[in-house]
Structure 1
Amino acid sequence: MAKQNIFILGIESSCDDTSAAVIHNGKVLSNVVASQKIHEAYGGVVPELASRAHQQNIVPVVHQALKKANITKAQLSAIAFTRGPGLMGSLLVGTSFAKSLAYGLNIPLIDVNHMQAHILAHFIEETNFKKPPFPFLAMTISGGHTQIVNVEDYFSMTVIGETIDDAVGEAYDKSGKILGLGYPAGPEIDKRAQLGNPKAFTFTKPKVDGLNFSFSGLKTAILYFIQKETKANPNFINENINDICASIQYTIIGILIDKLKKATKATGIKHIAIGGGVSANSGIRKALQDGEQKFGWTTYIPKFEYTTDNAAMIAIVGYLKFLEANFAEQDIMASARLKISF
């Protein structure tokens, strides 16, 4: 049987990045991302401003993705888009554009779960990157989510653990705000952590049953700790910033690894794949790789550009769904709280 010539345009607009990508038979031809700098002044994403920026960015981003892929709209096999979860205003921009374009070109429309896409980014055809075998455990960590997912197949996934309050990315950003760092604070804490002593200060890990996570207590403990120390020494943060960041990161990584150890024991699955924006963190990546020797698991880490929100991961899910003729109807709606389990 001759191999099909499948071109999928992926569109991602779940939060504050507008992205479009073209995938040809599982291989990325282009992956364009337009980031929104406006939110830095507010210390977090402002939903109304995000949706307006998506409206401005989506046409040029899609145009650029097609141009970089060196194809025309007429060659597209289908349009894949992020249906959710995410910010409703942002999702509506991408959903409306994808529906209109698919309708105008008379080609299939494919809806994609954003969190599922973070996991399936591992299946993009890339040289020197190994793909996890089924079943595997996926840990999706981002600004809005922290989950452990049992992945039995491309479209058979079950969340077996998740945060009961704040996501891990939020813990990084709130901690950074307490320390006076810019937004997003995660990369800055990671950078400074490499220069500090991870055991300089001790923060208690929250006790949560099963495989679920909690980060709100840690965030509060850091706030009280900083308030107490700066009261005694107003220059405490400046004098100890690297050690503070290292200690915060050490605690967060400890929480994640402890739950993964529990998950591998409970399921017997030793293949661990990570995804989501926080999986770009060097400390978390190293801890997972160290786990191969310590705990006997195999770690799968996607290419750096596929960890943060991007359309290539949307397009690969679109490609896998296209192969199964799993298409959406034109009346499909965006869903801000879309669940990952199938």
Structure 2
Amino acid sequence: MSWWRKRPYRSIRSIGIATGVLASVLTAAATVAPAHADRGVGGEIGVRYDSLGGSGGFLGEPLTGEVRTPNARGAYVVFRDGSIYWSPATGAWEVHGAIRDTWGRTGWEGGPLGFPRTNEVRTPDGRGAYNVFEGGSIYWSPVTGAHVVRGAIRDAWGDYGWEGGPFGYPTSSEFDIPGGKRTNFQNGWIEWRPTGITMAAESGVPGCPAPRWGASPTEAVTCLMRAWEQRRGDVMANHTSNALVGEMLEWDVAPYTFEGCERTADPITQTSAGIECSVYFPPVPGDGMIHGVGVYFGIGLYDHGAWIEDFETIG
């Protein structure tokens, strides 16, 4: 990586140039020269800086030249309103605002998050922003502030739709609990222990938290029924394994995943609710095929009993 950039130079060959002409030449030279050249902002950091508008962008003027990071793995430049960090493995990315402050409290690039892997990105709902780092992410919204999400907790949160899912934005960074770690969210929490992940969140279906691993079959069937009434296929899928598969089926292959559930148009009886769910198994090594079943469930409208009506092979 280039550690400096030559300052543009224009020679004046005529000794007899008038003072006014000389001033014009110097002014033109200053115009041609990048505003940040005298600070030595070059290489990939300079390219990133220019792509963000240079001194006229949101980062503003550079306050430092390019500085080696203490771990000697990369470099950075501090600007008026943020920083750009670079390493050979990650490239050059900007970090600013509350996300940068939170990253700094974790130890910058020398902490568990490592170097940034993205610029600050707006979330799809338009309510917040995030940066992805080597070891996790920091998510921010004006309501919740900026918090670190990482490891298995981040993976589980992502499986349920990130900030757009039932959990919403994180309201805490990861913290210690007896035997594990926990992160709190707007609508629930996710905990990690060596034995696995546990979680709870509000689903938007009254009286039915989702996802809720460990729900009893009775609790899960109740949630299935309420979610069926509201056509909430995501909530039905979150509880199907507890309600039916774990109790009524014995799969020879695991793990399996529910990709979603829908109301069926024609339940077998007038007193039952029909639910169709797609269950997928891992591909067989060397096969490459998608394997699974479409499972058709019946749930009693009055007694909330549950039963399996039919199967359909997928793949």
Greater share of strand:
2
Q: Quickly name the TM-score band, shorter chain normalised.
A: under 0.3
Q: Which structure has the larger Rg?
A: 2
* TM-score (norm. length: structure 2): 0.23
Tell me: higher relative CO, structure 1 or 2? Use CA pairs within 8 A at least 6 residues apart: 1
Which structure is higher in helix share?
1
